[in-house]
């Protein structure tokens, strides 16, 4: 018989005790649920409480529901059914839930219906972090990432297909109605038990299908009108029948799917998210203005030191937004904005836009050969174009490095927009050592939060529609911020008691 000894059980697991005990004493004293609960006590839910009525059954307090959801999301639990199970079996969840166990439907409905309150809870997390001096807004980095929508690309249709299908169904419905109106005897033979006052089954099906097609077509037209008001709708544009607001996004090689473009503004001090919003644009060319508005809303219009962004944000409207807000921005410029000298002899490399000097005074460019490129006022293109005489370019010794060997159109053309002056200013700024040093910190500020959120398991939304998706993303960012605060409290970096005021204003 083996002589190995194992620890004896301190007591039979089903032994009854003479005096009741607190089951939460089984949790380690330093468990994070205790710190979370200290913070959750001060969440302001007054706006949500106004939605409840004194009649009927007593409801769960909204502070309890939001506490459960934030705690669940901060620990990588996103399914409402799994959250309910944890509230039944996990001691930490039971402590946060105060041994209540809301049904998964209660949790799911609260998540779908309280998008506005989730934005308030996010703001409260930012204000608490600011109060605890965890976010000074001295340097903010802006970044975006795609998250999958609650939809499938196989349940979608292009604009061209919607128009064709609408016409097809309208013709079929019209034919069925005409047939029903003109041939009672044929209708009796075809539909047997159906009366003349009932709608034939195939006609009803066609009408319902037509209504869905028309609803999706209208939603696509409204969406594209809002996103691109000056452009005709491309027939290739698609819309999902499940989520009309989602759009096809992705990259070559990694695939395309219906997604939303989530944007976060991250403070450099402790990685607190101080601004967030949801975009339907596949790129980041127009996201600075809404990002600044989101920061102002979450921080009660606190002043910002400087902001940094990657090349995806390099656009005239984004630069103009920073200029209008008088913010010290650091943004990576396009390759065409820099001379491509690396690895090439000067006599071999092709000229790029950066080799052409812009003159703001008379709105013109000067080429490397010293010739002036003048704005073409007759051009109807969306972007401004500048060019020099074709005859001058044809005889220029630098032509091969500039406009190539094509004798049909040797004239060099530079295209830009009305934001060229601030674009040139950013180009010059980003060539300085000081600007490069600031920009180098961008990736270690903005990218870790998205990595932590996705590594926790959150890769897509559980709700549909932009408004509800924005609410769930506010919940995600709230959980991220509160988790950061709890970690700092648990490690002793900060003390909640030192805050000037714990009650957070919405």
d(CA 61, CA 423): 52
What SS3 state is found at 19? coil
Q: How far is CA 221 from CA 218, 230, 303, 392, in A?
A: 5, 13, 39, 47
Among 265, 253, 259, 266, residue whose Cα is nearest residue 281: 259
Whole-number pLDDT of residue 408: 57
Percent of the chain with pLDDT over 70: 79
Whole-number pLDDT of residue 203: 67
Max CA distance (Å), the chain: 104
Average pLDDT over residues 410-431: 82
pLDDT reading at 184 higher than 60: no
The model's confidence at residue 399, banded by pLDDT at 50, 70 and 90, is confident
> Does 280 or 373 have the greater pLDDT score?
280
Structure tokens at 96: 């946060």
Whole-number pLDDT of residue 506: 40
The three-point CA angle 163-169-170 to 5° equals 90
The 10 Å CB-count burial string (b at 16+, else e) for 390-399 is eebbeebebb
Whole-number pLDDT of residue 26: 87
Provide DSSP, 411-459. --EEEE-TTHHHHHHHHHHTTSHHHHHHHHTHHHHHHHHHHHHHHTT--
User: What's the residue count for the chain?
Assistant: 506
The 8 Å CB, 24+ separation contacts for 406-413 are 411/387, 412/367, 412/373, 412/387, 412/388, 413/385, 413/386, 413/387
**Per DSSP, what are the bridge partners of residue 313?**
none
pLDDT reading at 334 higher than 80: no
pLDDT reading at 458 higher than 70: yes
- List the beta strands (DSSP E) in 120-182: 139-148, 156-158
Q: In sequence order, which residues have a C-beta less than 8 Å from that of residue 388 and are 6 or more positions away?
A: 367, 371, 372, 373, 374, 411, 412
pLDDT reading at 34 higher than 50: yes
Q: Are strands 357-359 and 364-366 parallel, antiparallel or unpaired?
A: antiparallel
Which segment of 86-95, 248-257, 451-460, 476-485 scores lowest on mean pLDDT?
248-257
- What radius of gyration do the chain's Cα atoms show? 31
Structure tokens at 44: 């302001």
Q: What is the mean pLDDT of the chain?
A: 82
d(CA 500, CA 270): 19
What SS3 state is found at 262? strand
Whole-number pLDDT of residue 240: 78
Percent of the chain with pLDDT over 90: 44
Q: Residue 379 — φ and ψ, nearest 5°?
A: -70, 135
The answer to whether 445 and 271 have CB atoms below 8 angstroms apart is yes
Whole-number pLDDT of residue 155: 75
Among 363, 349, 486, residue whose Cα is nearest residue 414: 363
Which of 48-62, 379-393, 462-476, 484-498 ranks highest by mean pLDDT?
A: 462-476
Whole-number pLDDT of residue 8: 60
Whole-number pLDDT of residue 505: 42
Among 45, 29, 40, residue whose Cα is nearest residue 72: 40
Helix residue spans in 196-278 (DSSP H): 201-227
Whole-number pLDDT of residue 25: 86
The three-point CA angle 200-203-206 to 5° equals 150
The answer to whether 145 and 271 have CB atoms below 8 angstroms apart is no
| DSSP letter, residue 1 | -
Average pLDDT over residues 273-291: 94
d(CA 473, CA 118): 8
Q: In sequence order, which residues have a C-beta less than 8 Å from that of residue 410 and are 6 or more positions away?
A: 390, 393, 394, 399, 403, 404
Give the H/E segment covering residue 373.
Answer: strand 372-375
pLDDT reading at 192 higher than 70: no
Q: Where are the domains of the chain?
A: 24-134+466-498, 156-240, 337-424
The answer to whether 200 and 187 have CB atoms below 8 angstroms apart is yes
What does the pLDDT look like over 114-123, one tens digit per residue?
Answer: 999 999 999 9
What SS3 state is found at 154? coil
pLDDT reading at 84 higher than 60: yes
Average pLDDT over residues 369-375: 83
Whole-number pLDDT of residue 364: 84
Whole-number pLDDT of residue 384: 79
Place of tokens 């674009």: 423
> Does 392 or 282 have the greater pLDDT score?
282
Provide DSSP, 183-199. -HHHHHHHHTT--TTSP
The model's confidence at residue 503, banded by pLDDT at 50, 70 and 90, is very low
The answer to whether 500 and 38 have CB atoms below 8 angstroms apart is no
Q: Residue 234 — φ and ψ, nearest 5°?
A: -70, 135
What SS3 state is found at 69? helix
């Amino acid at each position: 018989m083996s002589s190995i000894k194992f620890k004896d059980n301190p007591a039979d697991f089903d032994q009854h005790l003479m005096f009741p005990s607190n089951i939460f004493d089984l949790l380690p004293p330093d468990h994070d649920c205790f710190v979370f609960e200290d913070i959750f006590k001060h969440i302001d839910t007054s706006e949500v409480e106004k939605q409840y009525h004194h009649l009927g059954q007593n409801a769960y307090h909204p502070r309890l529901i939001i506490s459960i959801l934030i705690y669940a999301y901060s620990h990588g639990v996103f399914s409402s059914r799994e959250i309910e199970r944890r509230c039944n079996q996990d001691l930490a969840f039971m402590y946060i839930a105060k041994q209540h166990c809301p049904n998964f439907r209660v949790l799911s409905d609260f998540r779908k219906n309280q998008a506005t309150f989730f934005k308030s809870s996010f703001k409260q997390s930012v204000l608490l972090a600011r109060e605890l001096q965890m976010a000074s807004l001295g340097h903010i980095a802006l970044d975006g990432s795609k998250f999958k929508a609650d939809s499938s690309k196989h349940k979608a249709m292009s604009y061209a297909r919607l128009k064709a299908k609408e016409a097809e169904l309208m013709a079929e419905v019209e034919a069925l109605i005409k047939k029903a109106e003109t041939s009672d005897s044929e209708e009796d033979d075809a539909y047997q038990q159906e009366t003349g006052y009932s709608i034939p089954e195939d006609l009803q099906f066609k009408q319902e299908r037509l209504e869905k097609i028309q609803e999706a077509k209208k939603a696509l037209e409204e969406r594209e009108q809002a996103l691109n008001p000056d452009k005709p709708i491309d027939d290739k544009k698609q819309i999902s029948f499940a989520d009309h607001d989602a759009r096809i996004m992705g990259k070559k090689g990694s695939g395309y799917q219906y997604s939303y473009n989530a944007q976060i503004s991250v403070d450099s001090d402790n990685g607190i998210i101080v601004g967030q919003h949801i975009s339907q644009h596949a790129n980041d060319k127009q996201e600075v203005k809404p990002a600044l508005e989101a920061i102002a809303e979450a921080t009660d219009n606190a002043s910002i030191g400087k902001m940094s962004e990657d090349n995806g944000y390099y656009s005239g409207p984004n630069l103009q937004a920073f200029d209008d807000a008088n913010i010290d921005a650091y943004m990576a410029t396009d390759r065409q904005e820099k001379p491509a000298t690396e690895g090439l002899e000067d006599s071999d490399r092709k000229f790029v836009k950066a080799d052409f000097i812009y003159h703001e005074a008379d709105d013109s460019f000067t080429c490397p050969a010293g010739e002036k490129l003048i704005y073409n006022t007759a051009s109807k293109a969306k972007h401004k174009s500048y060019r020099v005489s074709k005859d001058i370019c044809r005889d220029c010794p630098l032509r091969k490095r500039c406009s190539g060997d094509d004798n049909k159109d040797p004239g060099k053309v530079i295209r830009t927009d009305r934001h060229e002056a601030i674009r040139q200013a950013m180009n010059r700024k980003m060539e300085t050592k000081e600007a490069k040093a600031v920009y180098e910190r961008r990736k270690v500020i903005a990218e870790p939060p998205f990595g932590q959120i996705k590594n926790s398991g959150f890769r897509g939304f559980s709700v549909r529609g932009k408004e509800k998706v924005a609410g769930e993303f506010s919940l995600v960012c709230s959980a991220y911020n509160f988790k950061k605060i709890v970690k700092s409290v648990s490690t002793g970096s900060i003390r909640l008691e030192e805050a000037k005021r714990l009650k957070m204003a919405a």
